[in-house]
Amino acid sequence: MCLTCGCGDEENVRVSTMDGPPHEHSSAHRHDHGHDNGPGHGHGHGHGHEQAADGHESARTEKLVLGEQILAKNDRLAEHNRGWLEQRRITAVNLMSSPGSGKTSLLERTIAELQSDREICVVEGDQETLFDAQRIKDAGARAVQVNTGAGCHLDAPMVQQAIEALAPSEGSLLFIENVGNLVCPALFDVGEQAKVVVISVTEGDDKPLKYPHMFSAADLVVINKTDLLPHVDFDLTKLAKQARSLNPDLEIIALSVRSGENLDLWYAWLHAL
> In degrees rounded to 5, what are phi and psi of residue 142?
-80, 145
| pTM of the predicted model over 0.85 | no
pLDDT of residue 58: 64
Poorest-pLDDT segment among 7-16, 48-57, 112-121, 234-243: 48-57
**CA–CA separation, 273 and 93 (whole Å):** 9
What percentage of the chain exceeds 70 in pLDDT? Answer: 78
| Ramachandran bin of 249, using left for φ above 0, alpha for ψ from -120 to 50, beta for the remaining angles | alpha
Per residue in 176-191, pLDDT (tens digit) is 999 999 999 999 999 9
- Using alpha carbons only, give the angle 71, 221, 187 rounded to the nearest 5 degrees: 10
**CA–CA separation, 166 and 168 (whole Å):** 6
Per residue in 107-149, pLDDT (tens digit) is 999 999 999 999 999 999 999 999 999 999 999 999 999 999 9
- DSSP-assigned states of every residue in 97-112: E-TTSSHHHHHHHHHH
> In degrees rounded to 5, what are phi and psi of residue 121?
-125, 155
Per residue in 68-103, pLDDT (tens digit) is 777 789 999 999 999 999 999 999 999 999 999 999
The residues spanned by each domain of the chain are: 74-271
**CA–CA separation, 225 and 254 (whole Å):** 8
Tally of CB atoms within 10 A around 241: 12
**CA–CA separation, 147 and 133 (whole Å):** 11
For residues 24-41, b (16+ Cβ closer than 10 Å) or e, as one string? eeebebeeeeeeeeeeee
pLDDT of residue 69: 73
Length of the chain: 273
**CA 133 from centroid of its chain's CA atoms:** 16
**CA–CA separation, 224 and 252 (whole Å):** 11
CATH class of the structural domain 74-271: alpha beta
Answer yes or no: are the C-beta atoms of 131 and 105 closer than 8 Å. Answer: no
Task: Report CA dihedral (84, 87, 90, 91) to the nearest 10 degrees.
Answer: 90
Tally of CB atoms within 10 A around 68: 12
Q: What SS3 class is residue 251? A: strand
